[in-house]
Structure 1
Amino acid sequence: MILELADIRIHPGQNAAFDEAIARGLRDVISKAKGCQGFKVNKGIESPERYILQIFWDTLEDHTVGFREGELFPQWRAIVGPFFAQPPVVEHFDLVVKSV
């Protein structure tokens, strides 16, 4: 399993609209992507315009090739992209230890 971690910064005052948009984008677009095992989003307390999006993929290529180069990515960006104050910082991680 691969973890995609996206550090997202949105424009001030857009939290309520972004909360709705990211929930809709995850439900209607990301969840349909091949290899997507699930996701979660956290909002900053000290920095409320900062969000951490975690998406769990079967393989790195499911994200970097299948999703990013496929037809779903433009749909996703159309929903959430207008809120971005800057491009998200995205990194990928391998699972090392998991609690049971």
Structure 2
Amino acid sequence: MILELADIKILAGQHRAFEQAVHQGVELAISKAKGFQRYELRQSLETPERYALLIQWDTLEDHTLGFRGSPAYATWRGLVGQFFAQPPFVEHFSLSQ
């Protein structure tokens, strides 16, 4: 099991629309991907335009090869990409103990 952490900075004043787009994108695209487990979206208290999107996947490849290599990725980016102030920083972490 791995955790994808996407550090996302959005355009000012777009909070509600961005959050709705993320939830819609997860429902329509990400949740149907092989290996998807769960997600959380967290807004920074100090920097309201900064979000952490946390997604649990079965394997790194489920995210990097499976989802990112699928048409669903284009659907996801089409829904949320318009809100990005800059490209998100994405990193993966082990969840094994």
Pairwise CA RMSD: 0.8
Spell out the pairing of 1:55-66 with structure 2 (5 A cutoff).
55-66=55-66
- Matched AA of 2:74: P
Structure 1 residue 16: deviation in Å? 1.1
Question: Structure 2: how far apart are the matches of 1:96 and 1:73?
Answer: 26
- The corresponding residue for 1:95 is 95
| Segments of 4+ moved more than 3 angstroms | none
Question: Structure 2: how far apart are the matches of 1:26 and 1:15?
Answer: 17
DSSP 3-state at the match of 1:87: coil
- The corresponding residue for 2:16 is 16
TM-score scaled to structure 1, two decimals?
0.93
- The corresponding residue for 2:26 is 26
Structure 1 residue 96: deviation in Å? 4.2
Question: Structure 2: how far apart are the matches of 1:75 and 1:95?
Answer: 27
Q: Could you list the runs of 5+ residues in structure 1 that have no partner in the other structure?
A: none
Question: Structure 2: how far apart are the matches of 1:96 and 1:75?
Answer: 30
Structure 1 residue 45: deviation in Å? 1.1
- 1:7-66, CA deviations, whole angstroms, 9 ceiling, x for partnerless residues? 000000111111111111111211111100111110111111000000000000000000
Question: Structure 1: how far apart are the matches of 2:42 and 2:92?
Answer: 17
- The corresponding residue for 2:68 is 68
DSSP 3-state at the match of 1:79: helix
- The corresponding residue for 1:2 is 2
